[in-house]
Amino acid sequence: MLIGGNAPAKIDEKGRIKVPTRFRSLLEQQYGREFFVTSTNGQCVEIYPLPVWTARLDTMSKISRFHPVAGRYLDAVNFYGCPATMDRQGRILIQPLLREKAGMQGEVSVLGKHDYLVVWNRERIEGRMETNEVTEDDLRELSTLV
């Protein structure tokens, strides 16, 4: 499934994000209401449908557990990670540690990333977009990858 784009959302007082309707309907139809909520760096929140997350872990299991990059990745996603169930109103809880580290309060931006979502603190993603623009060199390199 391909999902993309940006949709605004809010984090409520209990630390839940209401998944924007256009993402919610696609995710729920394709994968159900079980998710794994995590981050690789604590700067943003990654919301994976459980089947997508399980497939990612299956891929990771083929890498030696002694590989330093694989170890760092697994440490990060497990440190920040927590399973979550989307409730009937389309809300998913972000665990307190990750919520605090990623600045998840108030206005956020939800980005569709093919088969999972990335949630950014609104101010943080706007600053990142201003300082990390896609360049002509980036576009040329991308054209060689596809």
pLDDT tens per residue across all 146 residues of the chain: 667 899 999 999 999 999 999 899 999 999 999 999 999 999 999 999 999 999 999 998 888 777 888 889 999 999 999 999 999 999 999 999 999 999 999 999 999 999 999 999 999 999 998 898 888 998 999 889 87
CATH number, domain containing residue 85 = 3.40.1550.20
Q: Which residues contact 115 (CB under 8 A, 6 or more apart)?
A: 1, 2, 3, 48, 49, 52
In a domain, 29, yes or no: yes
Q: What total of structural domains would you count in the chain?
A: 1
In a domain, 55, yes or no: yes
Host H or E run for residue 91: strand 91-93
Show contacts of 51-55: CB within 8 Å, 24+ apart: 52/115, 52/116
Task: For residues 19 and 32, give the distance between their C-alpha atoms in angstroms, rounded to a whole number.
Answer: 13
- Residue numbers of the domain that contains 68: 3-121
pTM metric for this prediction = 0.90
In a domain, 145, yes or no: no
In a domain, 71, yes or no: yes
